[in-house]
Amino acid sequence: MTKDVIALTPEMPDLPTLLAGLYAGGPDLGVNTTADGAVVQLCAPDGRPLVSVETPILVQVPGETTRLLDHPVADGPVWWTEARASTAVAEAARLAGSFAGRLATVLGGTVWPPEAATTDVVPLTTDVSAIPAPATGSPAVDVLTATTAVVIQDRPLIAMTSWLSDALRSATGSNRALQIVTPPTARLTLPTRTALRGLPNRWVVQDPEHGYYDGLSGAVLHWKNGTFTPVQDEQGATRVAEAFAPVPDTGDRQLILTLRTRHAADENLVLGLALETTLRHLTVAPPAGWSTAEPVNLPWSTRQLTDLARTRAPRPTWLVAVGHPGRPALATLRVLRTPAGVEEDITLALGYGGDETPPLDAVEELATVLDAEHGLVTLLTSLRAARRDLTVPPSLEAPPVPVAFTLGSAEAEAIGQARAGRPPLGLLPTRLSLASRPALHYPLGDGTDPDAWSTFQRLIRHLSTPRQTQRN
């Protein structure tokens, strides 16, 4: 398994400190840079990378290290310096631990995982010349074939780090699948879960008793022709692993809001306000922070978020945002330039324990505000039985159940108020204003009836049917 080691320090590691850590293997090992200097590598004498270290980042968001590592640190900002060891060389993991331990010793910080920390010199005894050279220059990718980039992770929570984000982007750009291999004790963050949605990308769980299986579908997998593929029986059906058992219902719930907004593309546009409004409405507080990867390291700022999206336009921008520690809240936001303007696709999840009540009664008022002030196109609200901490285990989880669907006023007008306002389903929407062009809010249930999906699908088919077809 790959060994990821993180030094958490109150001060930024300067160049002399980084070099002191990198020479944990003695003077015979070399140091070079890659990714335009963003990654520093400790290398064997033949140039083979042993440990790759990403540029330190300042995490200024409260609770973020605890969320991702279950490793609380002292209050205040912390520098996160992550080292990734090669899986091909036995000493690489101990070299990564010694690098992180030296940084923490010099700067007064801590190491995750704690047992990896050391300051020992780790001599290279492996004959690296007998080991095939890696087929990829990406530090995150452990195995690269013609069709697949395989990333091996052994951390308890698999976050969408910049390492992983770069690996996904590179794999997509070369028409490869990204497949992440973990032990069965690992869980995914929601951004990682979202990124792996859709084949051929996979979460591959390596179970010591049951072999390999897909952590999201349960399909039994095997390595064939350079990729992990499902094992099929004689009838061609895919088998489901025994380990992919249903998760017991603990009473935890996740409230999930999926919304799209649309704005005119002008110089006064400020992005992120719809997400901020949503979190304020449901939790009182705005987002705590945002970033282009995990850990989320920047304090919440709609101005900085907008500036980043402008510099990347017309390319899309993908971001992560988190709430404050008291209420688990995690969102992904995708900004996209379209012929109609600038659109924001937002998925927000909030976690609630068995003794907490998700604020379903607040959604209608929220939808009214989003339509009046933030260009709401659609809003789907759903509820699911899932972990309060918003992480994804490699087990069968119940799908979300729709609670309500809201059609923004402009979208309802484009469809036709008569058609949108009177679906032939016995499902009368609530008009969210007294104006002649109101937004329409369709109640679908309380989040406990799976049949709500059928009702929602019939509603979407009705709203999507061209007017001429309906008249016929």
pLDDT (0 to 100) of residue 35: 66
Over residues 21-76, the pLDDT tens digits come to: 887 877 777 787 776 667 888 888 777 788 899 999 999 999 999 999 987 776 67
Question: What three-state secondary structure class fits 151?
Answer: strand
Torsion of CA 295, 299, 303, 308, to 10 degrees: -20
Task: Say if residue 459 is exposed, middle or buried (CB neighbours under 10 Å; 0-12, 13-18, 19+).
Answer: buried
Question: What three-state secondary structure class fits 352?
Answer: strand
Give me the residues paired with residue 53 across strands: 40, 83
Q: Which residues of the chain fall below pLDDT 70?
A: 1-2, 35-37, 74-75, 127-137, 466-472
pLDDT (0 to 100) of residue 198: 75
pLDDT (0 to 100) of residue 1: 41
Question: What three-state secondary structure class fits 220?
Answer: strand
Do 141 and 148 contact (CB within 8 A), yes or no?
no
